Structure 1
Amino acid sequence: MSEYRKNSLTLTGAVGLGTGVMISAGIFALLGQVAQLAGVWFPLIFIIGGVVTGFSAYSYVKMSQQYPSAGGVGMFLVKAYGKGTITASAAMLMAISMVINQSLVARTFGTYTLQIFGSESSGWLVALLAVGLLLFAFIVNISGNEFIQTFTSIVSLLKILGLLVFSAGGLWVAGFTLDPAGDAGTNAADTGIASIIAAVALTILSFKGFTTITNSGSEIKNPKKNVGRAIVASISISLFVYLMIAWAVSSNLPIDRIIEAKDYSLAEAARPAFGEYGVWFTVALAIIATISGIIASVFAVSRMLAMLTDMSLIPHRHFGMPGRIQKHTLVYTVVLAMALAVLFDLSRIASVGAILYLVMDMIVHWGVWKHLKKETGANPAIVVTALLLDAIVLGAFVYVKIQSDLLIVIVSLLFILATFGGEHWFLKRNKEAESSH
């Protein structure tokens, strides 16, 4: 089992982990959902999402420079709030949102793989393929840090090059026009200002993979410099790839068709430009991208959970498993992701993940602004801007979901309340147990 190993990840390896998570769910699973909310000019939403993410990443970069840790966000919260309910609950929201992202990526793998056989089924075959991918990610993650960073770096490079080839070919066929292929049809959502802002929430979810880098902080060589560099590089590379792909898709496929095929819109956009060979090429890229995304995400979240367990901030049971806590949290991560991949569809997985992540993100920014401005040297204006942007985007997203899918808002709220309530009870019980000895 791979344990914490200082200086075991290079700058290139860290960028590979970040882009490995980002360029998977972001472009393959969320593109159609963003189009449904934002309408015909949806490619521009990825730029806005990149800007909002840039403000958000500032807090993480400043914290990483001051407190590089394999626990990443969990350690940042401890520094800001101490070892209490807020820290434990926000860290769990982060972990859950990352596991949700893993199930999102896994189902995307299943959905795109079935396109090879001309199937649009989202039933048991998608779930079966998703579970198989998560099992493969578990096997890779017990192979050691060197193998993980080499695998994810090579695969990330291959998929980035492949996606750029796809987008360049699609734009060439469309004559590099900025005009979309068609207007929204009857399937398009109301693209009012709230809906457009809500679309930004999904693009933020597609960029959140940069936290994978912070969660591997102490394992990265020269972390005080390289964590920030890796985050900036990963976000920049992902934004460029997202924009090129979204532009190519919008140039080759009418918006109503993008929405109709939202779970596999990239493959569908390849048909008018490249025919069936293009579909196979796109599916191959999706398989590569989702595999690397799952491996990198499982790598990060299992380490954060292990750190929280070591600090007695979350409950832990061995269930008879041998080995250390980090191996156990790896098992828990993969099993929970499997369950989510079987039970929920892509749209609802993405929505819950976006809500939980934005709530956690706001807690991080508040902690930096309220408690750690001096220690980190963070610019208060930038941190407050990040906090306000998150609040605006979250508010718009919840407003739109209340109107279109109230169940998602209820489930997300119950997740948050259960997390805070459960952590409060657990920490109070532990404190009482310690005082009685």
Structure 2
Amino acid sequence: MADSYREGSLSLRGAVAMGTGVMVGAGIFALTGQVAALAGPLFPLAFLTAAGVAGLGAYTYVKMTRANPSSGGVAMILTQAYGRTAVAAGSAMLMALSMVLNQALVARTFGTYLTVPFGDAAGWIVPVLAVAVIAGAVAINLARNEAIGWMQTVGAVVKIGGIGLLAIAALAASGWSYEAGSEGLTAGTSVAGFIAATGLGVLAYKGFTTITNSGGELENPSRNVGRAIVISLVLCAVVYVIVAIGAGSSLSVDEIVEAQDYSLAEAARPALGQWGMWATVVVAVVACVTGLISSMFAVSRMLTMVTDMRMIPHRHFGMPGDVRHHMLVYLGVVAAVLAVALDMGQIAAVGIIFYLVMDMVIHWGVLRRLRHDVEAKAWVLVSALIADAVVLTAFAVVRGQEAPWVIEGAFAGVGLVYALEAWYLRTHPEQDDEQDHETSSSDESGRS
């Protein structure tokens, strides 16, 4: 089994591959249809605008991680800003839950694309395939970090190169036209819908936080964390826009929305024929598998750090291994349950609300308490806060008109997370936790 932490075990190349692995897996394959439903023909521009919102947010993470690189980056930032409080612990859990929701989204995307070539497959096959790929990702994460890094590099080349070539080929086959805009670029698009689409599109870029969460394991982190995040965001923004335009060159907005969960495979069919559809499926499968591996790699380490800080409870239930291995099992179980219980639209909606709330808490904490220590510019932090608030509000309003119970449930979930963390920290003061931790360590040493 892998060591919990291995300083310098991730190269810049591996970190970029990890970031793009999560982003491409959760982004363009899973969200194209949903973003198009909100933004209409302007959905490629919504992906580009979302990159700007994510880039503003990334500034805070880069500044903090350069100053204090760790293998639980987001949790460490929150603790430095708020201390051992319900705000820090609850926000860390929102980050973890948003990543678990992302894993469920990617797993369902894997199952959906894998069944596309076989037409109308039985509805139960997609969740079964989703559970299977989650189990596989948990198992692979027990490998050494270097092995995961090389796997991500190969996957990144296949995803970025393959999907880019397919999109360009689709554009060329369509005569460089844009079918989605045939009735006008603003047909059926509202300002609120576009902003809501931008908010949802941020979910396609939040994978950069996997780099932050692995900062302590990155070579020369003070230099490479920022470089890896910027490179990943730029690469994914270029790929998303090209692929979105490629999809729009083959299908109308209505057709993209109708084929929502597998829109890229459907877009390849008229432009490139059956082989194009099969090639898209292969790239999607690679993207989803490597994305899952990257996400679990990062979130398991973050939750391990939060557990070590005694900010969340932990029980091993007789399982062998250390805390990180237990976390991988718990993550796999929760992601599998979500993948079976919710559809892709519901998963994405809850995931982006959890993430944006957590993101705003981080920006506010750094702005109020840490910006002078890390030499962060106040206007950038304020801009990131405003951007998050605007897109979150627009998404909640627009999506709430279609599925109010999903939005209400997501915000209720946010409140519940903070309430449970407040109760846990109140009933487990830090001194008691340290004593319990020492007792637990002694018991485990005795068993071994």
TM-score, structure 1 length as denominator?
A: 0.96
User: Against the structure 1 CA distance between its residues 338 and 189, is the aligned structure 2 distance closer, same or farther, given a 3 Å change threshold?
Assistant: farther
Task: State the AA in 2 paired with 1:77.
Answer: L
Unaligned runs of 5+ in 1: none
Once residues 29 and 179 of structure 1 are traced to their aligned partners in structure 2, the CA distance between those partners, rounded to angstroms, is 21
CA displacement at 1:124 relative to structure 2 = 1.3
Q: What's the CA shift for 1:269?
A: 0.2
The residue type paired with residue 238 of structure 1 is C
Structure 2 partner of 1:124? 124
Structural mapping, 1:185-204, within 5 Å: 191-204=189-202
1:99 correspondence with 2:100: yes
| Alignment partners' CA distance in 1, 2:27 and 2:162 | 16
Partner of 2:35: 34
State which drifts further: 403-412 or 340-349.
Answer: 403-412
In 1, the alpha carbon distance for the partners of 2:133 and 2:342 equals: 16
Count residues in correspondence. Answer: 433
1:284 corresponds to which residue? Answer: 282
> Cα offset for 1:277?
1.2
The TM-score with structure 2 as length reference comes to 0.94
Output the amino acid matched with 2:118.
F
Distance 2:96 2:172 in 1: 41
Residues 192 and 398, structure 2, Cα contact 8 Å, conserved in 1: yes
Q: Which residue of 2 aligns with 1:335?
A: 333
Measured against aligned partners, the alpha-carbon deviations of 1:278-325 in whole angstroms (never above 9, x if no partner) come to: 111111110010001000001001110010000000111111111111
1:8 match: 9
Measured in 1, the distance between the counterparts of 2:213 and 2:103 equals: 16
Name the SS for the 2:429 alignment partner: helix
- Which residue identity lines up with residue 143 of structure 2 in the other structure? S
Cα separation, 2, equivalents of 1:59 and 1:21:
20
1:54 corresponding residue in structure 2: 55
Q: Give the aligned partner of residue 291 of structure 2.
A: 293
Q: Is the 8 A contact 1:64 1:214 kept in 2?
A: yes
Q: Which residue of 1 aligns with 2:45?
A: 44
Deviation at 1:176, TM superposition (A): 2.2
Contact 2:179-2:252 at 8 Å conserved across structures = no
Q: Is the counterpart of residue 231 in structure 1 residue 213 in structure 2?
A: no
Q: Aligned-pair distance for 1:119?
A: 2.6
Among 312, 332, 336, the alignment partner of 2:310 is 312
1:120 is displaced (CA, Å) by 5.8
- C-alpha distance in 1 between matches for 2:350 and 2:430: 34
The secondary structure found in structure 2 opposite 1:323 is coil
C-alpha root-mean-square deviation of aligned residues, in Å? Answer: 1.7
Counterparts of 2:73 and 2:333 in 1: how far apart (Å)?
22
- In structure 1, give the amino acid aligned to 2:219: K
1:168-247 map, 5 Å: 168-177=168-177, 180=180, 182-183=182-183, 191-247=189-245
> 1:138, 1:330 within 8 Å by CA — same for their partners in 2?
yes
In structure 2, what is the Cα distance between the partners aligned to 1:369 and 1:98? 24
Distance between the aligned counterparts of 2:255 and 2:74, measured in 1? Answer: 39
Q: Aligned ranges for residues 122-161 of structure 1 at < 5 Å?
A: 123-161=123-161
User: Does the 8 Å CA contact 2:106/2:288 hold for their aligned counterparts?
Assistant: yes
Q: CA deviation at 1:274?
A: 1.0
Matched residues, percent identical?
Answer: 48
**One-letter amino acid of the counterpart of residue 83, structure 2:** G
Taking the aligned partners of 1:432 and 1:255, their CA distance within structure 2 comes to: 54
- 8 Å CA contact 1:183, 1:255 repeated in 2: no
SS at match of 1:90: helix
1:266 equivalent to 2:264? Answer: yes
